[in-house]
């Protein structure tokens, strides 16, 4: 559960995981389209696994759509329900 994690810690953690999967540094815009940085279906799966393992959560099948992972803010929004 993400109860004891501040938004700032969550942003830093998610940006770090995204940068690791995409093998690039992100710009400061949390709404930036991650597909422009190389996010595709395979990398989305890798990102999902990394987030689930890191935060010990599980995404529902209906949450496993690339559009939910297409920006850091969209990922943060999805995590706000966890």
> How would you write the pLDDT of the chain (82 residues) with one tens digit per residue?
577 899 999 999 999 999 999 999 988 899 999 999 999 999 999 999 999 999 999 999 999 999 999 999 999 999 998 8
Distance of alpha carbon 26 from alpha carbon 32, whole angstroms? 8
Q: What is the pLDDT of residue 1?
A: 54
Contacts by 40-49, CB closer than 8 A, 24 or more apart: 40/66, 41/66, 44/69, 46/21, 47/17, 47/18, 47/21
The CA distance from 39 to 20, in Å, is 12
Structural domains present in the chain: 7-79 (1.10.1200.10)
pLDDT value of position 15: 97
């Amino acid at each position: 559960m993400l109860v004891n994690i501040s938004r700032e810690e969550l942003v830093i953690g998610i940006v770090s995981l995204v940068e690791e999967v995409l093998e690039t540094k992100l710009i400061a815009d949390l709404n930036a389209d991650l597909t422009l940085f190389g996010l595709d279906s395979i990398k989305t799966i890798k990102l999902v696994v990394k987030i689930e393992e890191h935060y010990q959560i599980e995404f529902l099948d209906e949450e496993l759509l690339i559009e939910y992972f297409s920006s850091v803010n969209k990922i943060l929004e999805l995590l706000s329900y966890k």
